[in-house]
Structure formats: structure tokens, C-alpha cells
Structure 1
């Protein structure tokens, strides 16, 4: 009896024709995938932070462009013309200064200019027992830097010794070298004046008017130097002393407060220039203090006492 042919379950490899690629099993494909992954993992990674070569030209161009722009800006700043100030800029700066800083007053500036030339004058006499006592005091003003001082005659008249104290605090004996009785003036010469002594600037009264501001500097009641301010009240005034012994003429009247001790001191303009020597005050009461009516000898008259030519 014929037998039935039995076939094996295993597959036979197909017969490949020329040029065909033999088929790969699943195990073979999986092995190759693992191999490829291993090779990729083993390949060296690019170094961190390294700039790719194709970026370098662009980077160099950007740096060169920046350098060129900075160089041009520096050149423009160096050769840039300074900004021109306008009147508006100047006005704004002045207004800012006035708003933020306290400027000295005209009176303060005048007082500061004359201050180095103002001196305190004290006259001494002796009692019957030979004791030296103060006879009188007043003010003086340096008119020549060698120690020549103008003051009132009544301040030093009758004194046996005269002492003057300068602005720097130093003191010196002084002697009377000339007098002008009709104007109650005396010229003193200090024996030891400071080396840096400053003489006051003087100016003529010509061109001045009633109402012009003036400053008086002196030692009222020995206190000072003290500064007071006012205006010129008039010119060519006359004054008779309370004792009625003398009449002074051609005086400057002013209203700046002056008291005993101001005598002989300077009356100055707001530029600090001497226009007169304070000589008297009018007060009909017994107190003989300031009531706002003072008198000064014009500097033109005083200049003659020191041998200075008229203005």
C-alpha cells in the first residue's frame, strides 16, 4: 500500500537567484541594532563650548564692526567742539547760585574791605600820684601803611601817652605829628606798626548824593570794631560842640548809628572807600548817644592834614 509522504515543519531556505540578498532572521537584525547603538555610544562627543568652525568668520566680522564703531565714537568725542554757552545758560547758573548760596550783603563787603585799616585809639594821662589812667578812647584809620593814622583831636588831646591797637591785635605807642584844629583832626604816627599794615582807600565826596548808602566802623564805648549802616543825609552841615567852644563847618551828615568811641573812625562808601572821618553826633539830651544824626569831616579836608594833595 502506498505511503503518504511526510513533510518537516522546518522551513527550507529559498533558493536565491543571482543578485538576490539572503533574508535575515529577527535575531540577526536585533544583533545588528545593538551593535549600531554600541558604536554610536562609543563615538566621541563634540567638546563642550567649542565654536563650530563655520561660526568663526561671522564672529570675527561682528568684533571688527564693534571695534570700528567704538573707534569712530571716540574720535568724535575727542574732536567735538565745546558747547557754546548761551545767555540763557548763564542766567540759569546765576539764578541757581542766588537760590542756593547766601551772598554777603553790601554792608558786609564794605566793612570787610575797611576792617584791616581800622584801629582802636586810647589816650592815657597821669594822676597827681603818678598813676596812669585812661583819659579817652576812640577810633582811627590807617591812611599810610608806614603807620600814619587819622583820628579826632578831641580823642587824644591832653594825653601823655597814646596807644593804638591794630586789626591783627598788635599794639603800639603813637605820637601826634600834626593837627588840624578847625576840623578837629589829629595825625598819629605809630612807633611799631605791623609789617603787613594796610592803608585805607580814600575817595572824593564829589559825585556823592544824599541818600547814598554809607557804613561807619569804630569802637563805640570801646566795643568793636563795630559796624553800622545808613545813608548820607546831606552835605555842608555845621555843628557846634555842646560846650560851645568850637563850630565845625562843611560836614557830611549821615544817619548810621554812631556813639562815643566812634569818633575818629572812617565813614565809607559801599565800596569800602573812606569819604569822611566821624567827628560828632547831635543829641540835645544828657545821654549824648546816637539819635540818627551824625557828622563827619570830608576826606578832602582830612587829606590836607596828612599833606596829601586834594582830590
Structure 2
């Protein structure tokens, strides 16, 4: 007896030639059985012929999704009517037009914007000195205020006399300030003015006489006080751009820009009492009142503390040579570890 076939779930079908051969074999078996007087076995119903691949529902849905994505992608990537692909010369022309129509800030201006919130005005009060430097500072302050150069000093707190004006830079947000020792030495009272206008009394918490440095602690500080970022001078070279920020003759904060003129310089005070070594020489303008202020690079990072200017006369005005104590020395005065 011929067994019925088990049909595979595969959509594939036998070739037409194979189907014809099977039909002929079934007909021959039926004829032989009839001749022998025996009942012919029941025939298995023939399956309808399948013409080609018939996908299932899932396959058909996937096909629809793929077709839709293909059409959508074609529309998205198709160039817009009238559009023009940008060439490199078009991009260069747009950049050049922007540079010509927009004024970009100078490197010194950007550096000054970074450091300015960390710079403070330092004023010392006490008995008025009669030294050449003190007289020059007094005349400069009076002229800046529109007064006669020889006008008497204004009274400070409790009737004290404003003896000197300098600059300081905040290095810790709790109100720790670096300045020059000669700005605050012997003062009866020290007052600092922060960037936002807040005035506070400050006290000396540390000194480093060999480098003319002093550390101040402000008794009151702004809530959003921003300390300066310090930068090692190990890779500093002659010709590097720098800027000095401070209060020359009490005017400021003022900014002057220049370059590093030399390294490891020495300077002896006009009175000959002290010699400073390992100094940064720079040509950014500095005058009395810049003392204690930061010398910065074009990233607004503090490289040193402005401490002196060289002048062969007694006028104490800038002739192009200034000196700054490297920040490594200044940071050690405040108890900070070296770089």
C-alpha cells in the first residue's frame, strides 16, 4: 500500500515534471489493481500548485516596514529643489565675513576678564610716611581724584591716614589674599575692596620678607568669591605674553599687556636694603599701586606677584622694566605646596 506523503511547511514546491510523474504512477497502479479485481487504494488529494514564494503575515509586515523606511530615507536624503552643496570655498568665505564684521576680544582682554573677580584693592592706614615712594603715591592718588598733587591725605577709618595703596589677589575662596609686604608693612589697619565693591578689614597672617610677600585674611568675603588659578612658571619663556592687573595710583582695576622679558633676574631696592632674586622680568606697564597684583598669562592664570619696577631716577615711574615674584614662591608664603 502506498503511504500518504507528509508535506513540509516549506513554501517550496516540486517541479512540474515531478508532479506529472507522480500522477502517471498513481494512474498505472489504479489500472493494475482494477485488472486484478482488487479495490484500488484511495488517492491522496492533490495539492494546488504553488506559484512562487508566498510570505506569511510577519514577513509581509516586515517587507512593508522596509519599503516605508527606504522611501522615507530617499525623501530625507534627496537634495532640496534649488539647493546647493557647500564647498570649502563657501565655508572659508563665511568665516572670513564673520571675522570682518565681528570684532573679537584680544587675548589680554579675555585673560583680564578671567582674573578680574579675584583681584582686590589693598589700602593701608596709619601714620603717613615721608619716603619718596610714599610721596609719589600720594601725588598720584590726588591727581586721580582730581585734587592738587600736594593736597593732604583723606582721613581713613577712625581718623587714620591712607598711607599706601596696592593690589592683592585672592588664592583661596575663604578670603586668603596674596600681596606685597611693603604695601602693608607697619600699617595700623588694612582694608581690602573686592570686585563686587564689598569692603572688608584684613589682617596679616603670614609674611615672606625675602620675597617681599604678605598673606592677608579678609574678615568678610563675598558669597560668590572666585579664587585665582595659579600656573607653574617651569615652562615660562622669554617672549610669552603676559598682563599685569592692579590699581596703579589707586586707579583700577587697570590692565596692561606685554611679554616676559627675562627670567631669574635680581633686583635691589632703591634704598639698597634688600635684594630680590629669581624674578620674572616683564615689560607690561606697572606703577606704584600695581605692587601685589597678579602677573597673568593669556589664560588668566597667575604666574607671579608684581613687586617692583626698575627706574634709575627717584620718580618711581615705569620705564619698561618690571619684576614679579614667581607664583611658586608666593604660594609657599601662603602655605600652599609647590607645583
Give the structure-2-normalised TM-score: 0.66
User: Equivalents in 2 of 1:201, 1:87: separation in Å?
Assistant: 40
Tell me what 2:95 maps to: 94
User: Equivalents in 1 of 2:85, 2:227: separation in Å?
Assistant: 43
User: Equivalents in 2 of 1:210, 1:116: separation in Å?
Assistant: 28
SS of the aligned residue for 1:284 comes to coil
Tell me what 1:160 maps to: 188
Tell me what 2:326 maps to: 298
Please give the root-mean-square deviation of Cα atoms over the aligned residues, in Å.
2.2
1:306 is displaced (CA, Å) by 1.1
1:208 is displaced (CA, Å) by 1.4
User: Equivalents in 1 of 2:78, 2:202: separation in Å?
Assistant: 63
Aligned residues: 237
SS of the aligned residue for 2:77 comes to coil
Equivalent of residue 196 in structure 1, options 211, 224, 247:
224
1:81 is displaced (CA, Å) by 6.4
Alignment map for 1:185-264 (pairs within 5 Å) = 185-264=213-292
User: Equivalents in 2 of 1:171, 1:86: separation in Å?
Assistant: 57
Give the structure-1-normalised TM-score: 0.72
User: Equivalents in 2 of 1:84, 1:309: separation in Å?
Assistant: 57
Equivalent of residue 173 in structure 2, options 142, 145, 149:
145
1:142 is displaced (CA, Å) by 0.5
1:280 is displaced (CA, Å) by 0.2
User: Equivalents in 1 of 2:75, 2:202: separation in Å?
Assistant: 66
Q: Does 1:182 find its partner at 2:232?
A: no
1:90 is displaced (CA, Å) by 3.9
User: Equivalents in 2 of 1:206, 1:230: separation in Å?
Assistant: 19
Unpaired segments ≥5 residues, structure 2: 1-71, 129-157
Alignment map for 1:27-46 (pairs within 5 Å) = none
User: Equivalents in 1 of 2:240, 2:258: separation in Å?
Assistant: 8
